[in-house]
Structure formats: structure tokens, C-alpha cells
Structure 1
Amino acid sequence: MKKSTSNLFGSVVLILIALVFSCRNTPQQKLTAQEIVDKAIYKACGDSCGKAVVSFSFRGNRYKHTRNEGIYELDRITEDSVVTRDILSNNGFKRLINGKEIMVPDSLRQNYADAVNSVHYFVRIPYGLNANAVNKKLAGEAQINGKSYYEISVTFDEKGGGTDFHDKFIYWIEKNEFTVDYLAYSFDVNDGGIRFREAYNPRIIKGFRFVDYHNLKPKDKTTPLTDLDSLFSAGELVKVSDIEANNIEVELCTTC
């Protein structure tokens, strides 16, 4: 028995409506912490992240790092009565004064190396979050100043995590643009503490995104890192300093 044309049309309409509602009700695939970080790194420096020479000024010193697919050299140059150049590379740490290498006591070597690495690390955030010793976890989502963020928790393995491997970080990565707009971290040195940083002054230099930071802290240094975004929104954090990198230069590396 043949069905009427109107019945066929009605059946087709019902099927289409069912398909539309099915698509609407299908939950979107959630990104993993690794996928979110990968997108944030790509946003920050595209395909050139690990193959460039970047130099900048910070608090009166000149810094320069050269990266070539795993081979790196991080420099800090201080000029006063002499020129002191601290170099951290795959081969370890060394100090040059007026171009001549000097012996550095073991008790100071790691402190100097950590100081150099720390400045370069913060200037190049989020590059570095894919290092082997880094553990990433999607801790949740948050709303800050009307924007939606992924909340990425970061810890470090003891092996390869440096002397500060106990430090913990939270990165707030914007859900649409994948920019790191806020971060927080805890540290143990100098009696310990926690900080919250708000990125500002974003600029793109030869495809590399750089920001400066307002550096803030809570009144209670035992405050959980995951509470700092709420305290920031409520205006309950105390400003400590501004973290600014100046005179930034980028050379895309073809012959590093």
C-alpha cells in the first residue's frame, strides 16, 4: 500500500527535527589539559616557539635566550664596574667576568642558575609547560572579569624539575583565545609564599606574544591557589610589584 505524499513529507520533517535536537543535545568534546596548553603555546609563538633568539631588559639587566629545538642558552648580562655574564645551557651554568670564565662556588652556582632561569621562564610563559618534568591537570573552569577560563594545575617531578620542584602553579587560560591572562604559584624559598599575576600590555613581536604582569599576593599566605581568582575579583589581593620586560627583540632562528 502506497503512503501519501503528505505522510512522507511529515515523516521527513520529524526525522530532520529529531536530528537537529540530537546534535544540540550531544555534548561537545572536552579538551584535555595537554590540548589546552598546546593551544596556548601555539597562540604565544606559533610554529617558532623552540627556534628563536629572544632578548629583553629586566630590572636593569639584559637577558637573551637562544633556543634551537632542545638546545638552549639562557644569558643574563649585568654591567657596573665590570661586565658579568651568567650563562645557563644544556652544559650547565658558568659565569664570565669581562669575557673571562671564573670559578663559582657550588653553594652559589645553583642560586645563580635558578635566578637566570626564572626570569626567562616568566617572560616566555606558556612556553616551557611541555617540558618533561611538568605535570598538567585540568582543575576546573572559572569566570574572571566576565571571561571564561580553563584552570590548569601544574606540578613538577623531582627529576628534571629543578631545585624548586615543590612549587605549584595555576594557569588561567582564556577559553576562546587561549591566552594566559592570569597565573598563581606557591614557593618555598625565603619562608615561602604565594603570588597571583595579572597579565597586561600584551604585544606581538615577530609572531611572539609578550605580556607584563601585575604581581599580587593575598593577606594570608596559606590561601589555596585556586581561591586567588575569587580574591582578585573581589579586590582583596595586595599589589607587590610590576613585572615588566622592556626592549624586547626577536630573531627567528634559521642558523642557530
Structure 2
Amino acid sequence: MIVFNTLFNFYRKYRLHSKFTPQPSETCYSGVSILKPLMGVDPNLFTNLETFFNMNYPKYELLFCVEEDTDPAIMLVKSLMEKYPKIDAKLFIGATIVGVNPKINNMHHAYEAAVYDFVLISDSGIRMKEDTLQDMMNHMTDKIALVHQMPFSADRSGFAAALEKIYFGTAQSRIYLTADCIKINCHTGMSALMRKSVLDEEGGLKTFGCYLAEDFFIAKSFTDRGWKIRICSQPAMQNSGICDIHSFQSRLTRSYEWWKFIGLFLVA
């Protein structure tokens, strides 16, 4: 156990404590299309989305995806687009049924309209730091097709929030980093940066609409073709405005089922 803890702490420092190096001003930046699938509004949604308008990265577009034209998230997105007119942001309303996965159905139009070589799929509850996108792009080297973030939690008040942060900072992170270290596909799709060309070679995002665990199968398709995936040094800051014991327990249940699915898939 002592040896395992030592190796785990070494790998954690190696993966999550990389020193951020700002790029020279003359650097040629690759563009990133950011897909934000939305459904409904929670108390933190506005501030979460606003962090994407304030990122310190010179070349990106925001593509917001809403399934229903009555969704209250539409008004919130439009207010942010008016507040930050210099940011390239578009709103897509209406899903296309390409499979059983509602998230991919919601994002289909936006993905087809994406103009840049890299695509970042980011869930509604994610909060970004100004340099997070740059950090993810720094890890996107020539042999890598997918950069993802280890799940963590932003600071919030209340017992449930504290419990959630302890879990993601201890048990979950240990499992996640250990799986990454021994090259088990641990990719979760809450915040994932991908090479669009590699995804398009598989037929695009719609190809994975037949899976509910689209994140696992996207990563598997990349690694099966010889591409590598990486965790960047900044974790995904989950900042949902709904945080209680019941919802936390439900997340643990889904997490358990997800890891059980991976185990059964690997055995098969």
C-alpha cells in the first residue's frame, strides 16, 4: 500500500502539476470550436457560461446547443452574447435524431457548423479558468487526438458540496489517475478536446449517437487507430447550482455503473 501511494502521488504530481508556460505573442494559435449542450437553467449556469466568454485564448468560437425553443437557457445565452459582442458565439436550437444519445442529438447541428480543427465538448456545469483552454491545447501534441480533464468540484457552500469535493479529490481522482497511468480508457465526456479531423474520419460525432457512453467509445476509436489521449494539468471544475445529498448519491450510482461497464467491456 505504501508503494502504491508513493507511485500514485508521483503520477499525480507528474500529470496535474505541470508548469503553465504562456505562448509568445507571435505564436500561431489553432482555432477551437466549443460545443456547449444546454438544457434548463440552474443558479450557477450564467456564471459558468460567462467564464467561457472570458478565456485568455485568441481563437475560438462558442456554439450553444438547446433542444427546445422554450428552454429558459436561450434567454440566458442571448444575454451573454449581447454582453460580449466581440466573442464569436452562436446559438443552435433544435435537435436532430441521429441515435439514442440525447446529448449528441442536441449537439449535431453545432458540430456540423464548427469551423475549427479542434472541438471541445463541455458540459453546462463546467467552470473554466482564463488559461484552461490554453492548458488543454498545450497537451495536444502531434500524436494526441484527445485531451480531457479529470473531474473535480468548484468551491461551493453546504455539506453536500463539501462531501462532493472530498470524493472527487480523493477516491475518484485515485481511480481516474490510476486508470490513466495503466492505459485504461477512463475518459469522461464532461470536458474533452478532440481533433475534429480524426473524429470526422469515423463519420463525425453522429457515428457515436448509437451509444449512451459516447465518451468511452470515442476515446476507444481513437486509441484503436493508434492515437493517444491525455489528461491535462487542470481538472474539470464542476459547478452545478444543484447540490444536495440525493443528487450526489445519484451521481455516485451512475459513476459506479460507468466503471462497472468499463470493467465488463475490458473483460469481454
Q: TM-score range by the shorter chain?
A: under 0.3
Higher relative contact order (CA 8 A, sep 6+): 2
| Larger-Rg structure | 1
Normalising by structure 2, report the TM-score: 0.26
Q: Which is strand-richer, 1 or 2?
A: 1
Normalising by structure 1, report the TM-score: 0.27
